[in-house]
Amino acid sequence: MDILSAAILGVVEGITEFLPISSTGHLILASRLLGLEQTEFLKSFEIAIQLGAILSVIALYGRRFLLNRAILLRLAAAFVPTAVIGLVLYKLIKHFFLGNQYVVLWALFAGGILLILFEKWHKEESGAMDQLEKIPIGKAVAIGAFQSLAVIPGVSRAAATIIGGLLLGLTRRTIVEFSFLLAMPTMLAATVLDLLKSGGGFSGGQYGYLAVGFSTSFVVAIAGIKFLLAFIKNNNFVAFGVYRIVVSVFFYFWLLR
């Protein structure tokens, strides 16, 4: 890895983190395009720079939501399923799922089809829940359970969380914002856990690459959040479903060359 590769991956992360297209999947595929070897450091890098994108949520939402105890309680409840599954399956996720391009491609493809079918079927009810602080605790836990499906790279944490919230009766904007906020404890925990287990073996230069990817993803993710909030005012996620299918098919045949 070099500084340019770290910056490119930071841009990829910042663009894709909050869109329903899987940031982890895109990082794995982008690493392959860049010709980067799937080392333990690269796998940790792909986890850690997501925290940079997540900190953009604090920059945009810190004052508005993060001092609200009711919202924090719901975020804590939603985080529990992901925390449990992440701890139990850490080794499987790190050593089998991460870096496996074919897992990513199948998850992108299947998720794209599901996203299109869901949007064709789903109709938002007039009484859909539109306040974060009034989400029932049980529904918050259920949303967290949906999020935990994203331990499989290519599924997309945002897609799983948003579809789960829509199924549970939240408005599109409300579940999108809840997905932004829920990313914070999720990715913070994932990054800290991975660095505690693997970070001791990194060199000073590798920590420099992490800093570049981290800061780049933070800046780009701010624009990504603003784009998604503007996009959902007049659009559903069908276009993202089509995009996922196109990307998965392209990379599948590219990998078979």
- The pTM (predicted TM-score) of the whole model is 0.84
Number of continuous H segments (helices) and E segments (strands) in the chain: 11, 0
| Residue ranges making up the domain that contains 59 | 3-255
In the chain, the number of structural domains is 1
Tokens of 161: 């969380």
pLDDT in the model for residue 96: 63
pLDDT in the model for residue 4: 92
DSSP assignment of 179-196: HHHHHHHHHHHHHHHHHH
| Block mean pLDDT (10 aa), the chain, length 257 | 91 91 87 84 80 85 79 92 77 63 88 93 81 91 90 85 92 90 81 68 79 91 92 91 94 75
Q: Which residue has the tokens 């925990």?
A: 189
Q: Which residue has the tokens 């409300």?
A: 174
pLDDT in the model for residue 141: 95
Q: Which residue has the tokens 């994932």?
A: 190
- Provide CB contacts within 8 A for 198, sequence distance 6+: 40, 41, 44
pLDDT in the model for residue 204: 73
Q: Are 240 and 115 spatial neighbours (Cβ–Cβ below 8 Å)?
A: yes
- Of 87, 7, 17, 2, nearest to 55 by C-alpha is 17
Q: What is the pLDDT of residues 192-234, one digit of tens each?
A: 776 676 655 677 788 888 889 989 999 999 999 999 999 998 8
Q: Which residue has the tokens 């995009």?
A: 243
pLDDT in the model for residue 200: 59
pLDDT in the model for residue 99: 59
* CA distance linking residue 241 with residue 20, whole number of Å: 8
